Amino acid sequence: MSITQKPRVIDHLVLPVIDIDVARARYEQLGFTVAPNGTHPFGTENACVFFNDDTFLEPIAVAHRETCEAAALKGNTFVANDQAYRFRRGQEGFSHLVIKTDDASADHKDYVKAAISGGSMVRFSRPFKTLEGKRDKASFKLAFAADRRAPDAGFFACEVVSAPRVDQTALKTHANGAQGLLEVVISEPNPSDFQYFLQDFLDQREMDNNSFGIEFESGNTKVSVLSPDGMRAFYGLEAEKNERGLRLTAYVIGVVDLASVEAHLIQQRIAASVFGDKLVVPPSAGQGCTIAFQEVSA
């Protein structure tokens, strides 16, 4: 597989939920600004959370089951992955890690050549709406990578073919002071078993190998694969030692003032625990995986 001069940049995280309205309420309760719902032509809908670092979260729900099933039968890789995740792992969680690309077609060819292709490319457009009600359209091309030893963790490259020509400033301003995505946390009993796949996907040969796992510095975000001991030490999470395969488990959001986030969570009666320099919020309805907050400079 060809390697670019710089590691790939993380684009967004795909977060399956049962009910998009419940997810919206949960993320707003956590202090995030949530974009108006977006609908996909293959039957799903999202309510995204956008950040100043050009990353975003994508809580996604099934809006029209029959449309999703028909799309999967026709070979839509994204919908097929979503259905498989929900069947195996439940209706809420963290299903895909997504990188940015300027050429999804080239990435697809590279994935095929490297024997890590996750299926056929997906091309689609969807409406986009701002908080002020301004509308436009966004178009995308997706190229999928996969390690068949890890059926519950999805990976794809996203090319923005046509971006919405609207001001998104308000969407990126959050009451909790969120600035962007600092880290993606993946669990696996023997992290180094997936070293080569992640090196190819992230276009990053350099990594830190320690007693708790492996870490990659992508173009904008750290990607950590932690053993059960690492998950417990850094996040207070219990991971099954004998359950093999990558599990997208948690993510870390950078905030301006951690103390104010803690006060906000207390006011909202949201449970959270302090682990080192992070404030960790366990999964809840509409929030299928663990979220950690960490203080950064604005």
Q: For 146-218, list the strands marked E by DSSP.
A: 154-162, 178-187, 208-210, 213-217
pLDDT of residue 270: 97
Strand partners, 180: 254
Rounded to the nearest 10 degrees, how much is the dihedral formed by the CA atoms of 132, 36, 183, 267? 80
pLDDT of residue 3: 45
DSSP per-residue string spanning 209-269: EETTEEEEE-SSSEEEEE-HHHHHHHH-----TT--S-EEEEEEEEES-HHHHHHHHHHTT
CB atoms within 10 A of CB 154: 25
Low-confidence ranges of the chain (pLDDT < 50): 2-4
Among candidate residues 155, 148, 154, 145, the one with its CA nearest the CA of residue 244: 148
- Interatomic CA distance for residues 35 and 56, integer angstroms: 11
pLDDT of residue 298: 62
Signed CA dihedral, 78, 80, 84, 90: sign only: positive
Decide: helix, strand or coil at residue 42. Answer: coil
What's this model's pTM, rounded to 2 decimal places?
0.95
- Interatomic CA distance for residues 78 and 81, integer angstroms: 5
φ, ψ of residue 246 in degrees (nearest 5): -65, 140
- Interatomic CA distance for residues 13 and 9, integer angstroms: 12
* All domains in the chain, ordered by first residue: 10-171 (3.10.180.10), 178-295 (3.10.180.10)
Structure tokens at 10: 């993380």
- Interatomic CA distance for residues 61 and 144, integer angstroms: 20
Strand partners, 215: 208, 224
* H, E, C per residue of 116-141: CECCCCEEEEEEEECCCCCEEEEEEE
Q: How far is CA 120 from CA 46, 111, 143, 236, 259, in A?
A: 22, 11, 7, 38, 45
Q: What average pLDDT is seen over the chain?
A: 94
* Phi-psi region at 250: left, alpha or beta (left = phi > 0; alpha = psi -120 to 50): beta
Sorted by sequence, the CB contacts under 8 Å of residue 294 that are 6+ apart come out as 182, 183, 252, 253, 254, 255, 258, 277, 278, 279
User: How big is the chain, counted in residues?
Assistant: 298
φ, ψ of residue 110 in degrees (nearest 5): -65, -40
pLDDT of residue 242: 80
- Interatomic CA distance for residues 22 and 57, integer angstroms: 15
- Interatomic CA distance for residues 258 and 276, integer angstroms: 12
Do 296 and 52 contact (CB within 8 A), yes or no? no
